[in-house]
């Protein structure tokens, strides 16, 4: 596989041979050490193979169990008290589980990168093709290939286990017992840049390979799956940041989404640290010894390994001060949809066998799931003011739109300022950037709605091929608007529609700019076209441009995907469209899909659309398989500028242009006078009157459009910019508005605003990357000095992809 990579295009390999063996469960046992910035421990992988391997995309329905959250609360409590019985497993450097040290008394066989291997014993292992002829039962040993990088693998061994029972109420307990069973022989292994390759001497076919293996390993401080940093209160923390590598630098795994598995984890950390994970249970810490606490989480819904998330830090749980504000928790938001749309799934579910909330009447009728908020101490009050009110409103709006929440609970964490995105959703947990908090509820509410939407699209329903990012991001962007409109219960329907039209105009402008300034190859939503979903015989594949640093900042999959869904909803009729969408969720939750799965079901469910020329082929041609702006979108976009809210902004822009002309004329007339005297006279007489006349309450999105429009002006004089800032109190607005203000400051070299730019680049790193480029492009010495100063201060803590992009701009 590695010989097929194209380093110049930053391709990402998925090396795991999932066609031969599939992971069905994994058990993590980890210690978090902030002094060394290393996570160390073991992972036990449980496999299925041969005829038991799952067929992805199959329409065969399997039985699932109604989900009883109380059952699993009891079971989780039992898991916390299972005694450790294994005396031959991996080491635990803190010494509280009596495990023997791996390799004690043996020669250190680690390579220069810290990897250990049985390389001498496993000589001749170079590729899965050479070592395993599956069809012909060849003479070479079968080779299990796992996705792995930036890890120091210490030992791999077979685990002596009995069969795990089918009952889910018992499985977690028995998986725990099995994971702590003694080893029964070391396995041969070797590591490469992207993989961990394991074999057992004499085993020729997957069916005979061990059903469970234990891998002892430790992460590296420079590993790209987690980031070690400090929070906004200056305390150490570590978290998974949604790297393009996903979790392969956190634990060896099968990265392809087809490898859907359940998991459980025990994580130990020092006193004062809180461990949050993407688990079903709200874990309570157990003290193991003085200064050490253990946290236990689990998941019984099979999910790809890429969805696993962990965050360890000195987080504070943000709680309500009184019960007076709990009213919204039980409020139900009403939408004009039939209650029949929310009935239980008939005839069972189509996903892998597991407990299912869609079969549980209690879950189906639950508009707001239990939720908690965690943050650094210094942001506690701001979170209490903003987030605690918004979460139940947004959850209820999501339930009113799509029905049953796929997950039983939700944690929301405000992550450190070096987080490279405004938000990231994982099962049972959402990361939010601190950038969403200031400036009122608009940005925070819309982003929260976006991440909540991922519970359905991106998590409960995932893309079978990672190149189809639009299935996750396009749906979440589209549903973000729908959820937010419903969450604002006091907003009349016509006003909600006007705001959505304004948002569409802003997104259209952003898509237009991105298409003009990006590679055509990166603008295609289905880049593999008719080969989408295909893998090699072993199951391995390559994600083109998967490691390209600039790609993670692109919005094309969000925007084009949103516009496609918006277009379908308008053409079909919103009521009909959302009725269908709920049917789609009922059918495909817990499964992986391709674009055609959604489109074929849509056209089959609403056959009259075929008479209007709407077909899967035409949607592929116009929207998914080509670069640039889709032709249908060009026609629709012309109407958005005519909306009432957009027209208000147009009028406001014209006034500011007039103000700027007067300011320039006044400056020319007074050129020979004392500048200080003129400035005082001008500001007190003319500008104050103009600013007062211009003062209008604008919505956040209107302010964004206003500033974007003024960015198109060739010059704005300092006095105009000063008046603009004071009129709209731009420093008090949300991050989207402040970002546009910083762009204006940079373009017009407004020195009085440089402090705002510096603050933005430090506190809003999720949005500030391209401001560095704008500071450099003007070739202004002061601006370039500012860019270098800000980067020097932030570089050590900055996300790796962000740092790479900025470094290319500066150097």
- Token readout for 534 is 């295909």
Whether 112 and 166 have beta carbons less than 8 Å apart is answered as: no
Task: Write the Ramachandran bin of 27: left for phi over 0, alpha for psi from -120 to 50, otherwise beta.
Answer: beta
Distance CA 804, CA 764 (A): 17
In the block, residue with structure tokens 């249970």: 281
Give the active site residues. Answer: 451
Q: By three-state DSSP, how is residue 349 classified? A: strand
Strands (E), 167-315: 183-186, 188-191, 195-199, 212-219, 226-230, 236-240, 260-270, 274-277, 286-289, 292-304, 310-313
Residue 90: its pLDDT value, please?
62
The whole-number pLDDT of residue 799 equals 85
DSSP state, residue 15 = -
Identify the CATH class of 316-321+357-540+547-629: mainly alpha
**All structural domains of the chain with their residue ranges:** 12-52+139-313, 316-321+357-540+547-629, 643-668+679-731, 749-810
- Mean pLDDT, consecutive 10-residue segments, the chain of 811 residues? 52 93 95 97 86 44 48 40 42 38 36 52 36 49 96 95 63 83 91 95 94 96 93 96 88 95 96 96 94 95 95 96 46 48 59 85 93 97 95 97 96 95 96 96 97 97 94 97 91 91 96 93 93 91 85 92 95 93 95 96 83 84 94 86 94 94 70 53 55 71 97 94 95 96 97 96 91 92 96 90 90 87
Strand partners, 41: 30, 217
> Which DSSP string do the residues of 446-482 spell out, in sequence order?
HHHHHHHHTTTBTTTEEESSTT-THHHHHHHHHHHHH
Sheet holding 38-49, edge to edge: 183-186, 151-159, 212-219, 38-49, 21-33, 260-270, 292-304, 286-289
Rounded CA-CA distance 55/388 in Å is 42
Q: List, in sequence order, the alpha helices (H) in 670-768.
A: 675-682, 688-694, 700-711, 718-728, 735-747, 754-763
| pLDDT of amino acid 302 | 94
SS3 of 149, please? coil
415 touches 467 (CB < 8 A)? no
pTM value is: 0.88
DSSP annotation of 331 reads -
Classify 385 as helix, strand or coil: helix
User: What is the model's pLDDT at position 71?
Assistant: 44
What is residue 628's three-state secondary structure? coil
Closest CA to 266 of 286, 248, 280, 291: 286
Domain 12-52+139-313 top-level CATH class: mainly beta
Beta bridge partners of 237: 229, 313
Phi and psi at 549, nearest 5°, equal -60, -40
Query: In angstroms, how far is CA 416 from the centroid of its own chain?
Result: 15
CB of 410 closer than 8 Å to CB of 369 = yes
What confidence tens digit (pLDDT) does each residue in 423-448 have? Answer: 999 999 999 999 999 999 999 999 99
Q: How many Å apart are CA 538 and CA 540, to the nearest integer? A: 6
- Please tell me the predicted confidence (pLDDT) of residue 182: 85
In tens, the pLDDT along 67-80 reads 554 444 434 434 44
188 phi, psi to nearest 5 deg: -80, 140
């Amino acid at each position: 596989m590695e010989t097929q990579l194209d380093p110049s295009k930053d391709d990402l390999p998925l090396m795991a041979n999932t066609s031969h063996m599939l992971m069905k469960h994994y058990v993590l046992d980890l210690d978090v050490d902030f002094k060394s910035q290393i996570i160390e421990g073991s992972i036990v992988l449980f496999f299925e193979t041969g005829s038991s391997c799952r067929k992805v995309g199959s329409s065969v329905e399997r039985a699932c169990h109604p989900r009883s959250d109380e059952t699993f609360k009891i079971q989780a409590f039992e898991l916390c008290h299972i005694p450790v019985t294994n005396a031959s497993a991996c080491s635990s450097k803190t010494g509280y589980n009596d495990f023997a040290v791996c390799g004690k008394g043996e020669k250190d066989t680690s390579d220069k990168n810290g990897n250990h291997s049985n390389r001498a014993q496993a000589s001749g292992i170079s590729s899965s093709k050479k070592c395993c002829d599956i069809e012909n039962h060849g003479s070479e040993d079968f080779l299990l290939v796992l996705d792995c990088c930036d890890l120091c693998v210490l030992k791999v061994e077979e685990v002596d286990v009995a069969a795990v029972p089918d009952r889910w109420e018992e499985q977690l307990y028995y998986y725990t017992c099995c994971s702590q069973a003694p080893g029964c022989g070391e396995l041969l292994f070797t590591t490469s840049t992207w993989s961990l390759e394991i074999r057992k001497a004499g085993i020729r076919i997957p069916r005979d390979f061990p059903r469970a293996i234990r891998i002892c390993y430790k992460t590296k401080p420079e590993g790209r799956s987690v980031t070690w940093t400090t929070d906004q209160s200056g305390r150490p923390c570590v978290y998974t940041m949604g790297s393009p590598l996903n979790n392969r630098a956190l634990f060896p795994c099968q990265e392809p989404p087809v490898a859907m598995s359940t998991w459980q984890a025990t994580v130990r950390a020092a006193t004062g640290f809180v461990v949050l994970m993407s688990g079903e249970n709200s874990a309570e810490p157990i003290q193991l010894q003085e200064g050490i606490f253990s946290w236990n989480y689990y998941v019984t819904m099979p999910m790809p390994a890429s969805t696993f998330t962990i965050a360890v830090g000195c987080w504070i749980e943000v709680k309500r001060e009184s019960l007076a504000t709990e009213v919204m928790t039980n409020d139900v938001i009403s939408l004009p949809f039939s209650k029949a749309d929310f009935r239980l799934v008939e005839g069972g579910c189509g996903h892998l066998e597991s407990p299912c909330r869609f079969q549980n009447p209690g879950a189906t009728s639950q508009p707001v799931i239990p939720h908690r908020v965690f943050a650094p101490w210094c942001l506690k009050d701001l979170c209490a003011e903003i987030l605690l009110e918004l979460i139940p409103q947004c959850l209820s709006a999501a339930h009113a739109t799509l029905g049953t929440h796929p997950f039983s609970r939700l944690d929301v964490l405000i992550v450190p300022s070096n987080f490279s995105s405004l938000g990231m959703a994982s099962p049972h947990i959402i990361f939010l950037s601190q950038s969403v908090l200031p400036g009122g509820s608009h940005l925070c509410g819309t982003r929260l709605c976006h991440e909540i939407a991922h519970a359905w699209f991106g998590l409960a329903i995932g893309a079978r091929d990672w190149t189809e990012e639009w299935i996750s991001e396009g749906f979440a962007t589209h549903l973000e608007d729908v959820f937010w409109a419903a969450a604002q219960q006091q907003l009349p329907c016509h006003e909600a529609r006007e705001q959505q039209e304004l948002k569409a105009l802003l997104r259209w402008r952003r898509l237009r700019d991105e298409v003009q300034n990006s590679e055509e190859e990166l603008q295609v939503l289905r880049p593999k076209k008719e080969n989408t979903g295909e893998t090699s015989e072993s199951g391995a594949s390559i994600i083109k441009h998967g490691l390209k640093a600039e790609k993670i900042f692109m919005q094309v999959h969000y925007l084009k995907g949103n516009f496609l869904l918006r277009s379908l909803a308008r053409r079909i009729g919103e009521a009909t469209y959302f009725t269908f969408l709920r049917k789609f969720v009922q059918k495909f939750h817990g499964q992986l899909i391709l674009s055609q799965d959604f489109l074929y079901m849509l056209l089959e469910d609403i056959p009259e659309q075929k008479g209007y020329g709407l077909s899967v082929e035409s949607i592929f041609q116009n929207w998914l398989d080509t670069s640039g702006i889709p032709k249908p979108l060009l026609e629709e976009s012309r109407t958005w500028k005519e909306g009432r809210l957009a027209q208000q902004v147009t009028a406001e822009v014209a006034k500011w242009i007039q103000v700027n002309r007067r300011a320039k004329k006044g400056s020319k007339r007074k050129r020979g006078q004392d500048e200080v005297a003129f400035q005082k006279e001008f500001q007190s007489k003319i500008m104050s009157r103009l600013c007062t006349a211009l003062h209008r309450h604008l919505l956040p999105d209107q302010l964004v459009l206003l500033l974007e429009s003024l960015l198109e002006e060739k010059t704005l004089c300092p006095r105009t910019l000063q008046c603009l800032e004071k009129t709209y109190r731009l420093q008090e607005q949300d991050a989207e508005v402040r970002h546009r203000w910083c762009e204006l400051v940079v373009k017009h070299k407004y020195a009085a605003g440089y402090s705002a730019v510096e603050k933005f680049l430090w506190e809003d790193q999720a949005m500030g990357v391209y401001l560095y480029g704008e500071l450099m492009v003007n070739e202004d010495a002061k601006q370039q000095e500012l860019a270098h100063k800000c980067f020097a201060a932030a570089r050590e803590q900055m996300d790796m992809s962000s740092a790479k992009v900025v470094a290319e701009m500066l150097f």
